[in-house]
């Protein structure tokens, strides 16, 4: 299997510089901790939806799910479509509640809804889980880079970790969202270039489907059994609904309506793109039938079909996918460390500037810790199995009180804490019992956690102060936002952001065109060249519309 060439490395370096440059540029707009952790409630809903989508699709998809696609076929798409459900539930259930809550971190509401102790327990345990969860993502990215470049696993992890930390530390949530949008363009364009090349290499769609193994259906193998799929969908619904970055996007937009539109657009992305992402790995079974490691299916088909330069862009796209996730996770987790732990426990009177400095320091701390921990993920049986294990043991017990607590009044603080303790113990026992399948064990754990949490609400709390606090909280999240509670648009800032988008699209377009030159006579090179032109045209349109709106705003101000 061939490795990257000099032109490929140049593409990756340019991409890395672009991401770091965006983060450093946005740093000058971050004035306070609200800007850093929730974008001043001014994140556009379209950008928020793209960011929400990108922060859920890391290289994990192109390693773990690609391995399932190579081995078992369409069931990989069936499993990944589980992400559509929490987006739809978010649109109609959670979006308005999280926006009305008026919080800076997902853990902040727990003190009002339950107690200070619950907030601390969930903050500390949640940070620990986030570190484990993101170790898996970084490990998956390192596997991809290692296979494509021959660079050691350690060097791959270190390089990616440094870049993500740089732009997230500097620009906060705005850097996360804007780089997500740019990375979205790179990822989609790169995968759309690979898709027709894969179809051509497979002899056309009719030939591909005629040669496809009969077991490559939507419900194949042990992962395609109805019980497995139901439990997996339920697990993802719980995990995503309580995912900190998922919640953060809801309370970072202007109002409830924007939150709902953001979730619906996210659901559309989750439904459309998984098939495009995984189809090359399914066809790879016919083109490269003797892969020793199925998780290398996607990188193998890329290396086989993409010419020099274009392969570099694909590797950049893989960086894009995982760096989007990591940057979002770093930001929201640093927010919990800063607001829920540092300020709440150690320095209640900290100034906004001190909190901003601590937030950036915490982002760096997380980057270092996750980078170090990623080296040990291989010992858990690979990316997919490690993700399942960590989710079952930690995410479910910690997430169930978080999401049900914003829906139900009766469950008590004791119930929230008991759910975590009993849930983790139950998960440890079930996962260490070889006679119990993963799906049965996970279902039992979910039922135990929900039962413990609901049972705590059977008897009404005698604490009148607590009951009044809970009543006020639910009144707040059930009351629509007033106009004076919504942020006022800062056009000068928005104009700068639109210009940044346009410049970033221009650079991406030039990058695709430049990398296509050596292979311009091939379909891949021509596709990349055309993609570059489209990006440049979009950049010109965006710049022109931004200039026109600026002129309209100036006229409006003069008339006022």
Full 3-state SS string of 442-471: HHHHHHHHHHHHHHCCCCCCCCHHHHHHHH
Helix axes of 153-201 and 523-559: crossing angle, nearest 10 degrees: 110
Residue with tokens 């793209």: 50
Which pair of tokens denotes residue 403?
């999401």
Nearest Cα residue to 135 out of 420, 366, 427: 366
- Say how far apart CA 212 and CA 468 lie, in whole Å: 62
Tell me the two tokens of residue 75: 């069931």
DSSP-H helix ranges across 61-115: 66-72, 75-80, 84-89, 95-101, 108-113
CA 455 – CA 457 distance, rounded (Å): 5
Question: What is the spatial distance between Cα 321 and Cα 315, in angstroms, rounded to a whole number?
Answer: 10
pLDDT given at position 518:
82
Cα–Cα distance for residue pair 17/107, rounded to 1 Å? 34
Alpha helices in 336-412 (DSSP H): 352-373, 383-390, 396-404
Distance CA(399)–CA(106), nearest Å, equals 11
Q: What is the pTM of this model?
A: 0.78
C-alpha 532/C-alpha 538 separation (Å) is 10
**Tokens, residue 351:** 């100034």
Alpha carbon distance 54, 120 (integer Å): 29
pLDDT value, residue 536: 92
Burial class from Cβ neighbours inside 10 Å (0-12, 13-18, 19+) for residue 76 reads buried
d(CA 264, CA 267): 5
Residue 247 in contact with residue 108, Cβ under 8 Å? no
Q: Could you tell me the end-to-end alpha-carbon distance of the chain, in angstroms, rounded to an integer?
A: 66
What pLDDT sits at residue 169? Answer: 65
Q: How far apart are CA 375 and CA 366, in angstroms?
A: 15
Dist CA 232 CA 212 (whole Å): 26
Would you say 38 and 104 are in contact if contact means Cβ atoms under 8 Å apart? yes
Q: What is the spatial distance between Cα 274 and Cα 65, in angstroms, rounded to a whole number? A: 10
Q: Which two tokens stand for residue 151?
A: 């660079």
Q: How many alpha carbons fall within 13 Å on the CB side of residue 457?
A: 17
The answer to whether the beta carbons of residues 313 and 4 sit under 8 Å apart is no
Structure tokens at 201: 């290499």
Block residue for tokens 């596997």: 143
Could you give the CA distance from residue 343 to residue 460 in angstroms, rounded to a whole number? 32
Matching residue, tokens 């008991």? 418
Tell me the mean pLDDT per 10 residues along the chain, length 560.
70 75 64 50 74 70 81 87 92 90 78 86 80 75 68 71 65 63 78 86 85 77 81 89 81 84 91 87 87 82 81 72 69 79 81 77 80 67 56 77 91 92 87 81 91 92 88 90 73 73 84 84 83 90 84 69
The per-residue pLDDT for 57 is 65
């Amino acid at each position: 299997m061939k490795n990257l060439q000099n032109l490929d490395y140049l593409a990756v370096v340019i991409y890395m510089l672009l991401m770091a440059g965006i983060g450093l540029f946005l740093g000058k707009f971050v004035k306070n901790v609200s800007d850093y952790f929730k974008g001043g409630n001014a994140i556009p809903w379209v950008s928020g939806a793209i960011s929400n989508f990108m922060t859920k699709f890391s290289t994990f998809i192109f390693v773990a799910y690609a391995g399932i696609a190579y081995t078992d076929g369409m069931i990989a798409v069936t499993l990944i479509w589980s992400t559509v459900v929490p987006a739809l539930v978010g649109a109609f259930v959670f979006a308005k509640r999280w926006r009305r809550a008026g919080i800076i971190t997902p853990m902040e509401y727990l003190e009002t809804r339950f107690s200070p102790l619950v907030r601390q327990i969930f903050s500390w345990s949640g940070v620990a889980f986030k570190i484990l969860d993101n170790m898996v993502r970084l490990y998956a990215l390192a596997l991809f880079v290692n296979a494509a470049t021959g660079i050691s696993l350690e060097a791959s992890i270190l390089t990616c970790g440094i870049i993500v930390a740089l732009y997230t530390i500097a620009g906060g949530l705005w850097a996360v969202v804007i780089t997500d949008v740019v990375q979205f363009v790179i990822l989609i364009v790169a995968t759309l270039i690979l898709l027709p090349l894969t179809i051509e290499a497979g002899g056309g769609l009719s030939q591909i489907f005629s040669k496809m193994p009969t077991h490559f259906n939507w419900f194949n193998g042990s992962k395609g059994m109805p019980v497995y799929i139901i439990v997996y969908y339920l697990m993802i619904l719980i995990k995503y609904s309580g995912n900190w970055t998922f919640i953060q996007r809801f309370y970072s937009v202007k109002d409830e309506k924007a939150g709902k539109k953001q979730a619906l657009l996210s659901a559309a992305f989750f439904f459309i793109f998984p098939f495009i992402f995984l189809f090359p790995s399914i066809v790879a079974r016919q083109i490269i039938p003797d892969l020793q490691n199925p998780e290398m299916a996607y990188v193998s088909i890329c290396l086989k079909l993409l010419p020099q330069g274009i392969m570099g862009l694909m590797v950049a796209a893989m960086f894009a996918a995982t760096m989007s996730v990591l940057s979002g996770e770093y930001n929201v987790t640093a927010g919990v460390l800063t607001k829920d732990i540092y300020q709440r426990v150690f320095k209640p009177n900290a100034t906004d500037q001190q909190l901003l400095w601590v937030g950036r320091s915490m982002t760096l701390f997380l980057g270092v810790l996750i980078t170090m921990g990623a080296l040990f993920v291989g010992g858990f049986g690979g990316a997919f199995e490690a993700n399942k294990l960590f989710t079952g043991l930690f995410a479910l017990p910690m997430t169930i009180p978080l999401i049900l607590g914003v829906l139900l009044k009766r469950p008590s603080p004791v119930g929230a804490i008991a759910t975590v303790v009993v849930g983790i113990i139950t998960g440890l026992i079930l996962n260490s019992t070889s006679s119990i399948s993963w799906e049965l064990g996970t279902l039992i754990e979910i039922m135990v956690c929900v039962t413990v949490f609901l049972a705590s609400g059977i008897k009404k709390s005698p604490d009148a102060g607590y009951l009044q606090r809970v009543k006020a909280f639910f009144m707040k999240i059930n009351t629509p936002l007033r106009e004076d509670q919504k942020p006022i648009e800062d056009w000068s800032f928005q104009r700068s952001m639109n210009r940044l988008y346009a410049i970033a699209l221009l650079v991406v377009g030039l990058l695709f065109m430049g990398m296509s030159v050596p292979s311009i006579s091939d379909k891949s090179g021509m596709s990349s060249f055309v993609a570059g032109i489209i990006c440049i045209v979009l950049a010109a349109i965006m710049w022109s519309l931004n200039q026109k709106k600026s002129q309209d705003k100036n006229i409006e101000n003069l008339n006022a």
